[in-house]
Each structure stands twice: as structure tokens, then as C-alpha cells.
Structure 1
Amino acid sequence: MKPLIRLLLHAGWAPLAVLVFHRLIQHTPFREPLDFVMHYSGGLAITYFLWHALDFFGHWLGQLTLFARYLFAFALACTVGVFWEFGEFASDIFLHTHIQYSIGETMRDLIADATGATTTLMLLLLGRWLRGGK
């Protein structure tokens, strides 16, 4: 199986599942109460995907140390969260939606993204430790 297909099957399901769930609740009364959970889940999912994507891009990036891989996955996941917020802002400006209510809400979203990313990396580290460092 080709590496990109393998990556999408192995890890692409995670962000796709979050996007589908987000789409399902987007225009319901549940959107606002689940906003933090959605961003947290997005941080979890995109970090899981990016962690595995770093293997796929290894021939361009070179072999990363374990620390660099954790750092790179975290930074990329947080960057995705920032660009998601840019998208929400652009939607509010150009499509006249009302996704972002305040700077406080936007900052909570970014905190949820980063917390989700940290959780994923901690779980990956725990799994590595439980397998004896392999």
C-alpha cells in the first residue's frame, strides 16, 4: 500500500471524525456548549495525525529525534488551531457568520487546541513507556 494511503487510513480518520461531528452539530443548540470539547478533540485528532504524518514526510525532513518529533507535532497542531481561528474570523467578516463572540472565546479555543495536542503527546509518550521505550 502506498505510504500516503496508509497514513490516511491509519491516522486520517481522527481529524475527519472531528470535522464530521463538528458539521453535524454546527447549526444545533449543542454547538456553543460543545465548543470547548470540539476544539479539544480537534487538538487531539490533528496531533495524532501529524505525529504519524511526520513519518510520511521523513524523507524530506530527515530523521527527527524523538524530542524534535514531539516538539514538531505540538507546534504544527497549534498552528492548525491558529489557522482554524483565522478561518472563523474570515467567515465572520466575509460571510457575516457569528462564530467568534469575543477574544476570550477565541483564546479558550486556542487553549483547548493546545490542551488536546498536549494530551495526545502525553498518551503517545505513556504508550511508548508502557511498551518499554519502543
Structure 2
Amino acid sequence: MKHIIAHTLRRSAWAPLLVLAFYAIAIKGFDAYVRWPDLDIPTHFAGGMAITYVYATLLRESQARLGTIPALIRSLCALGMTAITAILWEFMEFGTDYFFGMVTVLGVTDTLSDLFFGLAGGSATLAMLHLRALAPVPASVET
């Protein structure tokens, strides 16, 4: 199982790391979320896309050990794990506000919006992965 996790991270960890790097630079370097509060929406959408990509890759790779998992089941599990991750992220935001005096949670509407856009991003990733899987493989060009 360690091999599957390591292989998954090598293939897909770049996605959430890119979103986290953007977030860290935007919040610390430019105070961007105070200047442009709506930046939170695409960030949560991109975060949902990135983490769903990691989970979808993990589930696809785990088939070597677990056996074939139908695509619909893999998608539902990836989206479910994304939902859990989004909820944990919102708890983390609440914790930083409560314990460190930060202001990241702007109310119930903000939290629900964050969850919605995270799941919307995850759904978009799954749709793209399914479309890519359905696309015909181009014939190789012989020279």
C-alpha cells in the first residue's frame, strides 16, 4: 500500500501544493483576501479540483491491490473524500480564528460557499477525468 500512496503522491501532489502555494503567497505576500474577498471563491474551487484529483488518482492506483473498482464508485468515493477534506479545512479555518485571533471565517454563508465551491471544483475534475477517459486514443503516426 505504501507503494500506491507514494506513486499517487508523485503523480498528483503537485495539484494541491500549487493551490496551497498560491494561497500562502496571496495571503501573506499581497494581503489579497482582504483586498479582494471574492478571491476565496476560485481558491476553494481550485482546491476542490486539486484534492479530488489526488483522491481519484489514489483510487485508480489502488485497483492494482484491491481489484477493479467501477468508475462511478471511484468518483463517488473521491467526491466524498473531497467533502470530508473541505469540512476539515473549514474546521481548520474556524480553529485559526478561535485560537489565533485570525479572521478567515466570515459567517455561515462564507462557510457554505466555501464548501459548495470546493465540491463544485471536485465535480468539475471528475467530469474532466471522465471525458478524458472517453476520448478516443489518437493513432500513432508512423514515419
Q: Which residue of 1 aligns with 2:124?
A: 119
SS at match of 2:18: helix
Corresponding position: 1:94 with 2:99: yes
Any unmatched runs of 5+ in structure 1?
none
Residue in structure 2 matching 1:52, options 57, 66, 82: 57
The letter for the 1-side match of 2:131 is L
Among the aligned pairs, what percent are the same residue? 29
Corresponding position: 1:33 with 2:48: no
Q: Which residue of 2 aligns with 1:11?
A: 12
**Bigger mean CA deviation after superposition, 29-38 or 120-129:** 29-38
Report the count of equivalent residues.
Answer: 131
**TM-score, normalising length: structure 1:** 0.88
Any unmatched runs of 5+ in structure 2?
138-143
CA distance in 1, matches of 2:62, 2:84: 17
Richer in helix (by share): 2
The Cα of 1:53 is off from its aligned counterpart by: 1.1
The Cα of 1:94 is off from its aligned counterpart by: 0.8
Runs of 4+ in 1 over 3 A off after TM superposition: 2-5, 55-63
The letter for the 2-side match of 1:9 is R
The letter for the 1-side match of 2:32 is F
Q: Deviations over 1:41-68 (max 9, x none)?
A: 0000000111001134446755321111
Superposed CA RMSD in Å reads 1.8
SS at match of 2:85: helix
Q: Deviations over 1:50-88 (max 9, x none)?
A: 100113444675532111101000100111111100000
Q: Which residue of 2 aligns with 1:22?
A: 23
- Is the CA contact 2:4–2:58 (under 8 Å) kept in the aligned structure 1? no
Go from structure 1 to structure 2 and tell me whether the alpha carbon gap of 1:122 and 1:107 turns closer, same or farther (over 3 Å shift). same
